[in-house]
Amino acid sequence: MSGLKQNKIMEGNNKKHIVLVHGICHGAWCWYKVVTLLRLSGHRVTALDLGACGVHPRQLKEIATAADYVQPLMELLGNLPRDEKVVLVGHSYGGLPISLAMQSFPNKILVAVFLAAYMPNHYTPPATLIQEYFRRTRMETLMDCQLTFDKGLQNPPTSVIFGSNFMEAMVYTHCKPEDLELGRMLIRPGALFVEEMAKENLLTKDKYGSVKRVYIICEDDQIMDQEFQIHNIQNSPPCEVKSMAATGHMAMLSKPEELCFSLQEIIDDANMK
């Protein structure tokens, strides 16, 4: 990253509370580079573990509902001071938990950032995007991932854990070898909650739709490929779209400085409006 961009991150006057939400199989740990850079620039940063993720004490079998899964995020936002607004960032599947949080706490969110993430609209159930993703995905491309199909093979999987080969070939492209090994050590199985996400009226225009949204495209993402990311954008147009070139799925690990620069730009823009 150029010195100009680094200075932009370090010298920005708009210091905010940034909440980082991981994708499926991951945890707060995957944000460690971004957390460091954002805190050095003066921001308050919270990277949290959703239910049965990262170092969260519960096991996946104890997470019966999507509400259990997103409880750590809901508790965080519910306990914020009345006048505090956060910048909420969701990666990949993390776009769905932050969408539920936007519905519950629209007045607590300055801007929501979807990083190569599922970004639903307010008039069709969020599960529509999950179903569309698996409709586009050939099962052989999932390689050594382990999937469970409690609702039958004709429906999307109910849970998944990434395989080692899949992580190297598809998830951690553009990342350093040590970040791949960290991921292999720390991933945990994750649930998709498709049945719950298929319910009507989970998101509304008055609440979810009232929060400013920005989408960041990762152009070389092998998981949420660019075509599917654009589908998300067209399906639910955000206020702004940014793009990161030559960036794989784990942008927070492969290009943390560029990601932080984009977040600072989004914060600066949100404060001007």
Phi then psi for 216, rounded to 5 degrees? -110, 115
Is 220 known to be catalytic? no
Is 249 known to be catalytic? yes
Angle formed by the axes of helices 226-235 and 127-136, nearest 10°:
150
How many CB atoms are closer than 10 A to CB 71? 17
Dig out the tokens for 94 from the structure. 């993390």
Select which of 26, 56, 91, 249 is catalytic. Answer: 249
CA atoms within 13 A on the CB side of 69: 28
Select which of 92, 159, 254, 262 is catalytic. Answer: 92
Q: Let me know the angle formed at the C-alpha of 114 by 108 and 120, rounded to the nearest 5 degrees.
A: 90
Type of residue numbered 135 = R
Phi then psi for 75, rounded to 5 degrees? -65, -40
Dig out the tokens for 220 from the structure. 């070389």
Q: How far apart are CA 159 and CA 166, in angstroms?
A: 16
Report the phi/psi class of residue 127: left, alpha or beta, with left for phi > 0 and alpha for psi in -120 to 50.
alpha
Is 221 known to be catalytic? yes
Select which of 221, 225, 254, 262 is catalytic. Answer: 221
Catalytic residues: 92, 221, 249
